[in-house]
Structures are given as structure tokens and as C-alpha cells.
A and B are shown apart, each in its own frame.
Chain A
Amino acid sequence: MNFDADVLVIGGGVTGCGILRDLALRGIRGILIDRGDLNSGASGGNHGLLHSGGRYASSDTETAAECRIEGEILKRTAPQAIDACGGLFVAVEGDDEGFIARFAARCAAAGIDCAPLAVDEVRRSEPAISERAIAAYAVPDATVDPFRLTIEQVADARRLADSLFLPHTEVTGFDIDGGRIRAARCRDTRSGEARIIRARQYVNAAGAWSMAVARLAGCDDVRVLWSKGTLVIANTRLTRRVVNRLRTPGDGDILVPGGTVSLLGTTSDTVADLDVIRPTPEEVDRNIEEGSVLIPALAHTRFIRAFAGVRPLLLPTGGDGDGRKASRGFTLFDHVAQGLGNFATIAGGKLTTFRLMAERTGDLVAARLGNREPCRTATEPLPALERSSWTEPGHSARTWFAAKNPADSILCECEMVPKSTVDAVLEMAPGAEPQMPLRAIGVRSRIGKGTCQGSFCAIRVTSHLYDRGTYGGREGLGLMRDFLAERYKGTRPVLWGPQMPQAELAETLHCGLLGLDLIDARGQDGEPR
């Protein structure tokens, strides 16, 4: 199947979705594609931290200030996706006194509100913090649900300009003629089918893959450093606020509450291959060892999952390749010098600054299309879709419990997601499609996010999908297998303590009861190796 649009945006992360909406607000219809799904890359593999800028205040005043300004804008325009819980920077015995002493002034230089706090007062309000704490500051950090942000931006773009999101669609090449891209040759990674997408403008927002996409268009000016970061998710919320270690950024020094859980991260390791990105036990241990210095409970808490994302960091010419030191800034490439007039790449940056990245890109693309509408994303509130609170932890449970409809069976018991939520995702979520993969339902809801990491709900949801006719053959089993295999990548490095019996039970269920080890990824009887 072929498609036409004003603009093709490549990359369904938060930036690509932001661009789709930015353009839609200017009346420009876009098609957004991703080789996987929404937030398959760094947008889904991060802390969900809306930086106050404090983290960068000591090293990069400009990025810190950008974070502050963008954070304030998002709190105004997308409050539904944000928990303005506040943040702390806390130092413990042995941390660099000089760094501590300079922190407040650095924050002031970036315009960040930063208030010193008495350590005992901090420990009263956050008892999880170590008694070895020696200094603390409050900053306006917040948390953001990146899944809600992307889902609502895509939904709004659809509402405004009939823009479209196509999941599992990968660019394999561009047809270039006369200094312009005429078409993007794509492939449906699920069916293998070829697709041609024709647009007037092409935007590369492919994050870690942006260098590869640029090269497909013959552009060699984009250089990105891949910095892998691993995070771990604790079963419970350990602190009310974001807690940062007050020191030069290192492993395991940020603990971010995410609704009912806490996310601890991150590591930073430069990688050379994007196809083998998975969290390792060693990275998990590093996070926990460092993290438990600040939050001792981390040493014995139950972790339910680890995940890894790749930060696409712009590599300045002559940079030394250290991810921690590389700029968190972003660059918009117009590729004019590369001989193309309708192609742009936006690269680098951060979750917190995605809107600004989308604005700059939108300005360029709109101008190229002769559209004079200004950017409106800094003022126009992002409509809160009632149903996209699906991704908010505890929301589904609360709504279900209040509705008192016992016939609406709970399919995911850990997160208490009922049948009606799954049905709604199938019917109206952005990217919904016939034979929707369990993984895609998981991205758009809390399915599989809880303690059992999908080991029970995969079975219940799959049965429900067969019942309602979403699946009509073995592919449904293949999709369940794929979903569980993907969840497994995250649980594998945290399998100790109570997660190990959980994993053993999952093994007996998925192999012993369901026979999923006997079929292949398409659900067919497997060819034994």
C-alpha cells in the first residue's frame, strides 16, 4: 500500500510525534513512520524525568536553561502527562565538596530555582534517603509519561490535520531526483510488504538511527554518538520526589518516581551496534551499588525490570567520544550543503527539550512549504485524551474499581487493566490496527508493566483477542510469544529474590502449559535447531 502526505516524518519517538503535531497545528498533514512502534527507542527507554536543568547546571548552562524553559512550557501545555513532584539534589559523605559548594550558583546562572534544605528536614520528608546525606537542594524537577506524550500528540495531529501514524514501517531508501527526495521506499517490518510514501518534505527524527537514515539520503553530515543507558524499575515508589545525587553525573545517581514505581538509572556506555541493546546484570548491579549509597533501601528492594535506551548524542567534530561529556544540545540539519532541498534531520537533544526541537524543525519545514503559520506548541495545550490515561500507573485500577462493573473482567491483575481498556486501545488508540500485536497494546496501556511482567496477562489478553476475533490464527500465539520474549529481555537482568520464583512460574506456564517454546515467532510449529 502506498501513501501521500505533505510531510513524511521518520521516527515515532517523542520528537517525531512532536513534529507531527507541530505541523498539524500549522495545517500541514504528515505521515509519521517508525520501524518499530511509538517510543521504541530512547523516548521509551529513559527515566521519564522532566529536568529542571539542575543536572546540567554545572557543566552546560545553555542546555540547563533550555531544560528549565521547556519544562515550564510542558507543565503548562501538557499537565496531564506530568507529575510536578519536585526534585532533590542530595550529596552524601565523601562527595565532592567543591561541586556541592558551586551548585546553587550554577543553578542561578541558568535561572533554575534552587533552594538549600536542611538535611534532617529532607530525611523527614523522604525517609528513604541515606542518613549519610550531608547536603540537599530542592529544584523544580518533575516526571513525565513519555508514552502519554507521544500518544496524545499523534492523536491530536490526527484530529487537526488527519495526520497518520504507521507503525512497523522502515525506510529502506529514497528516490532522489534533481536535488529533491521524490519518494521514500519503505518496508512493513511485520508483513515484509513494500510501501512507497510520497511527500513534499522529509524529516529525519530517527534518534539513534538518524545517522543511518541520513545516509540513505546520501547525507554524511549527521554524526551521532550512541550512549547506552540502563535503568532498573523498583516494584514500589520509594520517594515522593525525584532524587538526584549531587555530584558529577555517574551511574545510578537518579531515582525517579513513576506513579507507583521508582526508576533508578542510569549507566552510560558507548556502543557500536544498535541491534544488541539490552540491559545486562552487570549494568543493573552498577546502578544498584551506586544508587544504594543515596537510597539504602535499593539494596534489598524488589526490582521488576530493567531496560536500556540509547541516547543519540551529537558528536562535535574532534569530540573524544565520552557520552557523559557530550553535549545534550541538539542540531537541525537542513542538508542544503548535501545537495537536498526537502530533507531535514533533527538530532541530539533530550526528552525535556523535544518540543523546542520540534518547533525548530517545524519552522524550517513550514517555510519550505510556503506555510506562514507560526509555531503554536508553546501555548496551545495538548488535549488530554480521556482514554490515554491508559498509560498512567494506577489509573486503570482506580477507574475500574470506581465503575463497579464486575462483567468488565480484569485481564492484567498486576496493574488491574480490564477488558474495556484493551478494547478501547484496539478501537481508538493511535497506531491501532487489525491483528494488533500484544506488544503494541502494551505500549498503549499498562498491560505487562506490573510485577509479573506479562506472564499472566499475556495469556488472558490473548484469549480475549481470539474471542473478539482480533486474532484468527496461529499468528496470535506468535505475537504472545514475541511480547513475552520482549518482556523477558527486561526481567532477565533482575532475576533474583522474589523475581526468580516469578520467572520460574513464567517458565512453567509459557513452556509447560502453553507450549510457546515449541513454536516459532509466527506461531508455527518450530523447526528444532
Chain B
Amino acid sequence: MNPEPRRITTDVAIVGTGLAGFAAAVFCLDRGIAAVQLGHAGALTYTTGYFDLLGYDRGRSIDDPWRALADLGATWPGHPLARLPRSTIEQAFRRFAEAIGDLGIAYVPPGATNVRALLPTGLAKTTSSIPRTMAAGAAALAEKKRTVIVDFIGLVGFSAKEFVTNFAADWPGLSSAHIGFPDLDGGAEAYPEVMARALEVRATRERLAARIRAVVGDADCVGLPAVLGVHAPDRVHAAMEELVGVPIFEIPTMPPAVPGLRLRELLEQAMPARGLRLVSQHKATRVDLRPDRIDFGYRDNFGEVVIEARTAILATGRFLSGGLVAERSGLRETLIGLPVEQPAGRGDWHRDDCFDVRGHPINRSGVVVDDDFRPLDHDGVPVHPGLFAAGAILAGQDWVRQRCGAGLAIATAWRAVDGVARMSGR
């Protein structure tokens, strides 16, 4: 219909719709920077919902993340979080958790120390900030409350018995119950997403609450797989607590799971309402680095669109989100062709043991940046004065093993937005 490319001009183009991209968008809007964000579904949907800051060092859990961050440079030289002052990390992390809360998913703010949060296997993990719907679980574990864990007929991959059995030694007051979810109790596969949406209906909440009440017994607390609503989890959670009469908490489940869907849908919906121009179903297909701006092209159903941006934040993630691609001959950054710091050869990408606590070298590969988080070319010079990078694409970290994914995404986004603000004169 439009043979001529349509053009959008903006202060900053944020490429990527994961946690780093959305954090950058939040911070840009805070500072009045006009932002266009572009991306397709990525790894965000797979999150547990926990916001990790820095949870582990080679398999050892970290109680005081702030002290560990201060010491990080010694063991992880060049780690993106080791290159940021505590004040930046703290400010960014708190602001983002607060912003998400304002948008509709409340988080318990990060504290001075980490907390032990629940995993579906019946293990605990160390994290920093947890959604309100999951908070009572960490408390129940800490206080060893008498708790009944409930799972549902037809829900595959989550077992209350598994959770209870594996926590038994640590948490004696646990028991399990297996019940049917209203209208989904015929035995056919019941997806958490479907249950969560159904719980946004008042009548379904009442029916489920009655079934839960029947198995609560003398428990002081109820744990459920994460199904308490997608759009309004805090409201659903509060309503269920009131109906059941005891504190309720959620436990993350395997994909396709609700916590990631929540964040993704919330951000995709709420951010445009706050002034973000979000292009959510498309990936940039080409880039043109010009002296005074960066152009990103993408195609929609009606032809090409070009985003003309004074600055840009590359937050395209790793392999799962498509920011990096692995070829037999080596790793490549997909959009701009930035140099990727990586092990010498494919034989060095991974360790022999999959669960080696040191993690795999390939997971530390990525884009190298300067102190302003601008990607560097092979000569160590910024590729473009207005191009910044944030999140998991950065080299020198292992966010999965270190449990620092949210901290990494959010703090580096903050720093990238600092640079954008300077360039935009804001």
C-alpha cells in the first residue's frame, strides 16, 4: 500500500523487548526522552518472576548482594555489574521494581540482604526481590509455617508431592493436596495460563477458594503453582487470600508459565499508555549507522518502516532472543555485526559437565562495551557515539549461574539511558 518507507523519528530506539529493553524504556520515560521500542517475543516469557540481583558465586549462595557486588571486580574482572557503582545499581533496581509495581505487579522491594525463594523442585534459591504473590512463600519457609501445597488435576510438570518431599527435611510442616480446578478438572491438560485467566473471573475464584478451603485443614498457609491471574495478580491474590482465609503464595512453574507472561503482557500494554512507542511484533531487519543518527528498518504488513533515532540501546539478548547467533565457526551479533568476545573455538564453549558450578565459558561471551556501555569495535573504539548496549548480550557475565539477570538488565539499562540522556541533552 505504501511503496515509500514510513519514517519515525525519535530520541532513542530501544531494540529488544526483554527486561533490559523495558527497563530502558521506563528510565527514558522517567527522563522525558522520546523512545521507540522494537522487538518480538523473547526470553522474558520464560522468567520465574523473581528479580535476582546477585545470588550465587560458583554455586555458593550470597547473603549480602551489595557486598558481593563491591567485591565482584576481583573475581569477575569486566563484569558489567562490577563496572557500576552501588548507587547506580541500587537506584536502578529500586526504581524499576517500583515502576513495575505502579504498572500493576507489586514487588517486595530489594533489601539489604537476599532472601530464599521457592523453586518448584522443592529447593530454595537466593534472590533479591520477589513478586507480592510469592512473598508469603519465602516467609513460610523462613518461619517453617504449617503449609499445604496444592496442585491441580491436568497440570503437567508441577507436583505438590515433589515440592513437599524435597523440602521435608528443611520444612517439617508441609503437606500436599491434589484438587481439580473449576471447569478444568476433566483430566485433560490444564495450562497455568488458562487457569490464571479464569481466576480473573470472580465466580471462578469463589469456586476454587471453596475447593482449597476443603483441603486447608490446620495449615496456616497455602502454596499454589503460579496461577493467580495474569493481568491483575495482586488483585486476584488478595481476593483469594480473603476467600480462603489464610495467606497464599505462588510457586513458579515450568514454561509455559504465568510469571513471565504477566510481565510481558503488562509491559506491552502499560508502557505505550505511558508514552512509549512500542512496535511489539517486529524485529529490526537492518541498521544504518549514520554520523548523526542510527536508522533501524523493519517490515510490517504494509512495507518498510524506518526508525530514525539519534541514539539507540541494543538490548537484543542472547541466543534465545536472537541477539547472538551461534554458527559452527563462531558466535555472531545478529543486527549490527558487532565483535563478540568469545572462546577460541567450539570445543571451548562448554565444559564437560553440564552442571559444573563454574558455568560454561560461552555464557560469558558477548558484546564488549566501554564504561558508558557503548559497544566497541575490534580496535576498542566505540562503534557509534550514540549506540549503547544493555542486558544479557553484554560480555563478562553469567546471569543464569550468578542469578543476576534482573540486576544486570536493569542496572546496565540505567547506565545506557544515562548515555542517551547526555547525547539528547536531557
Q: Answer yes or no: A and B touching, Cβ < 8 Å.
A: yes
Interface residues of A (CB under 8 A from B): 278, 280-282, 285, 288, 406-407, 409-411, 456, 459-460, 462-464, 466-467, 469, 471-474, 476-477, 481, 484-485, 488-489, 492-493, 495-497, 500-501, 503-505, 507-519, 523, 526, 528-529
Distance between A500 CB and nearest chain B CB, rounded to angstroms: 4
Q: Which residue of B lies closest to A463 (CB)?
A: B159
Task: Given contacts A406-B188, A410-B156, A510-B354, list 4 more A-B pairs with CB under 8 A.
Answer: A282-B347, A407-B186, A497-B326, A509-B46
| Chain A positions within 8 Å of B178 at CB level | 467
Q: Which residue of B lies closest to A474 (CB)?
A: B166
Q: Do A505 and B320 touch (CB < 8 A)?
A: yes
- Interface flag for B349 (CB, 8 Å): yes
Q: Which residue of A lies closest to B360 (CB)?
A: A507
Q: Do A496 and B327 touch (CB < 8 A)?
A: yes
Distance between A421 CB and nearest chain B CB, rounded to angstroms: 14
Q: Do B161 and A466 touch (CB < 8 A)?
A: yes
What are 22 A-B interface contacts by the 8 Å CB criterion? A456-B157, A456-B255, A459-B157, A459-B254, A463-B157, A471-B165, A476-B165, A477-B123, A495-B346, A497-B326, A497-B328, A507-B363, A509-B46, A510-B355, A511-B355, A512-B405, A514-B119, A515-B125, A518-B56, A523-B166, A529-B58, A529-B59
Give CA–CA (A499, B123) in the complex, Å: 28
Distance between A50 CB and nearest chain B CB, rounded to angstroms: 31
Q: Which residue of A lies closest to B162 (CB)?
A: A466
The contact of B355 among A409, A512, A516, by CB within 8 Å, is: A516
Q: Which of A281, A485, A515 has the most chain B CB within a 10 Å cutoff?
A: A515
Q: Do B254 and A456 touch (CB < 8 A)?
A: yes
Given contacts A464-B159, A515-B125, contact A528 B60 (CB under 8 A): yes
Distance between A506 CB and nearest chain B CB, rounded to angstroms: 9
The contact of B328 among A285, A460, A477, A505, by CB within 8 Å, is: A285
| Chain B positions within 8 Å of A462 at CB level | 162
Given contacts A280-B347, A517-B357, contact A463 B156 (CB under 8 A): yes
Q: Do B319 and A500 touch (CB < 8 A)?
A: yes
Q: Do B165 and A466 touch (CB < 8 A)?
A: yes
Chain B residues 144-185 with CB under 8 Å of chain A are: 154, 156-159, 161-162, 165-166, 168, 178
Q: Do B189 and A504 touch (CB < 8 A)?
A: no
Instruction: For the complex, count residues of B whose C-beta is within 8 A of A.
Output: 59
Give CA–CA (A496, B405) in the complex, Å: 23
Given contacts A409-B156, A459-B254, contact A511 B401 (CB under 8 A): yes
Distance between B225 CB and nearest chain A CB, rounded to angstroms: 11
Given contacts A495-B350, A504-B319, contact A512 B165 (CB under 8 A): no
The contact of A518 among B123, B165, B362, by CB within 8 Å, is: B123
Give CA–CA (A456, B327) in the complex, Å: 24
Q: Do A508 and B328 touch (CB < 8 A)?
A: no
Distance between B324 CB and nearest chain A CB, rounded to angstroms: 8
The contact of A501 among B165, B168, B319, by CB within 8 Å, is: B319
Please, what's the 1-or-0 string for B248-264, where 1 marks a CB less than 8 Å from any CB in chain A? 00001011000000000
| Chain B positions within 8 Å of A492 at CB level | 350, 354
| Chain B positions within 8 Å of A496 at CB level | 326-328, 346
Distance between A17 CB and nearest chain B CB, rounded to angstroms: 30
Give CA–CA (A476, B165) in the complex, Å: 10
| Chain A positions within 8 Å of B124 at CB level | 515
Q: Do A529 and B43 touch (CB < 8 A)?
A: no
The contact of A460 among B59, B157, B357, by CB within 8 Å, is: B157
Give CA–CA (A504, B350) in the complex, Å: 12
Give CA–CA (A472, B159) in the complex, Å: 12
Q: Do A511 and B400 touch (CB < 8 A)?
A: yes
| Chain B positions within 8 Å of A473 at CB level | 165-166, 168
Q: Do B318 and A504 touch (CB < 8 A)?
A: yes
Q: Do B400 and A508 touch (CB < 8 A)?
A: yes
The contact of B326 among A474, A500, A513, by CB within 8 Å, is: A500
Distance between B159 CB and nearest chain A CB, rounded to angstroms: 4
Q: Which residue of A lies closest to B348 (CB)?
A: A281
- Interface flag for B353 (CB, 8 Å): yes
The contact of B187 among A406, A513, A517, by CB within 8 Å, is: A406
Q: Do A528 and B58 touch (CB < 8 A)?
A: yes
- Interface flag for B342 (CB, 8 Å): no
Given contacts A504-B320, A514-B123, A528-B60, contact A278 B352 (CB under 8 A): yes
Q: Which of B48, B59, B178 has the most chain A CB within a 10 Å cutoff?
A: B59
| Chain B positions within 8 Å of A508 at CB level | 43, 46, 320, 400
Q: Do B161 and A512 touch (CB < 8 A)?
A: no
| Chain B positions within 8 Å of A519 at CB level | 123
Q: Which residue of B lies closest to A512 (CB)?
A: B400
| Chain A positions within 8 Å of B353 at CB level | 485
Distance between B61 CB and nearest chain A CB, rounded to angstroms: 8
| Chain A positions within 8 Å of B48 at CB level | 512-513
- Interface flag for B121 (CB, 8 Å): yes
Give CA–CA (A485, B357) in the complex, Å: 13
| Chain A positions within 8 Å of B255 at CB level | 456, 509
Distance between B169 CB and nearest chain A CB, rounded to angstroms: 8
Distance between A280 CB and nearest chain B CB, rounded to angstroms: 7
| Chain B positions within 8 Å of A472 at CB level | 165
- Interface flag for B120 (CB, 8 Å): yes
Q: Which of B154, B328, B350 has the most chain A CB within a 10 Å cutoff?
A: B328
Q: Do B354 and A484 touch (CB < 8 A)?
A: yes
Distance between B83 CB and nearest chain A CB, rounded to angstroms: 23
Please, what's the 1-or-0 string for B350-382, where 1 marks a CB less than 8 Å from any CB in chain A? 101111011010110000000000000000000
Please, what's the 1-or-0 string for B319-337, where 1 marks a CB less than 8 Å from any CB in chain A? 1101001111000000000
Q: Do A477 and B254 touch (CB < 8 A)?
A: no
- Interface flag for B403 (CB, 8 Å): yes
Give CA–CA (A500, B254) in the complex, Å: 19
Give CA–CA (A500, B187) in the complex, Å: 35
Give CA–CA (A302, B189) in the complex, Å: 29
Given contacts A514-B121, A517-B401, A528-B58, contact A406 B186 (CB under 8 A): yes
Given contacts A280-B347, A518-B59, contact A529 B357 (CB under 8 A): yes
| Chain B positions within 8 Å of A485 at CB level | 353-355
Q: Which residue of B lies closest to A456 (CB)?
A: B254
| Chain B positions within 8 Å of A515 at CB level | 119, 121, 123-125
| Chain B positions within 8 Å of A460 at CB level | 156-157, 254
Give CA–CA (A417, B23) in the complex, Å: 40
| Chain B positions within 8 Å of A409 at CB level | 154, 156, 187-189
Given contacts A409-B154, A495-B350, A515-B121, contact A467 B186 (CB under 8 A): no
Q: Do B403 and A512 touch (CB < 8 A)?
A: yes
Q: Which residue of B lies closest to A524 (CB)?
A: B169
Q: Do B60 and A481 touch (CB < 8 A)?
A: no
Distance between B234 CB and nearest chain A CB, rounded to angstroms: 23
Chain B residues 116-149 with CB under 8 Å of chain A are: 119-125
Distance between A90 CB and nearest chain B CB, rounded to angstroms: 25
Distance between A488 CB and nearest chain B CB, rounded to angstroms: 4
Q: Which of B119, B154, B157, B322 has the most chain A CB within a 10 Å cutoff?
A: B157
| Chain A positions within 8 Å of B162 at CB level | 462-463, 466-467, 471, 476
Q: Do B354 and A488 touch (CB < 8 A)?
A: yes
| Chain A positions within 8 Å of B345 at CB level | 281
Distance between B115 CB and nearest chain A CB, rounded to angstroms: 15
| Chain A positions within 8 Å of B320 at CB level | 501, 504-505, 508
Give CA–CA (A471, B48) in the complex, Å: 25
Q: Do A513 and B357 touch (CB < 8 A)?
A: no
Q: Which residue of B lies closest to A509 (CB)?
A: B254
Distance between B250 CB and nearest chain A CB, rounded to angstroms: 14
Give CA–CA (A510, B158) in the complex, Å: 14
Distance between A211 CB and nearest chain B CB, rounded to angstroms: 26
| Chain B positions within 8 Å of A288 at CB level | 328
The contact of A410 among B122, B189, B252, B350, by CB within 8 Å, is: B189
| Chain B positions within 8 Å of A512 at CB level | 48, 400, 403, 405
| Chain B positions within 8 Å of A501 at CB level | 319-320, 322
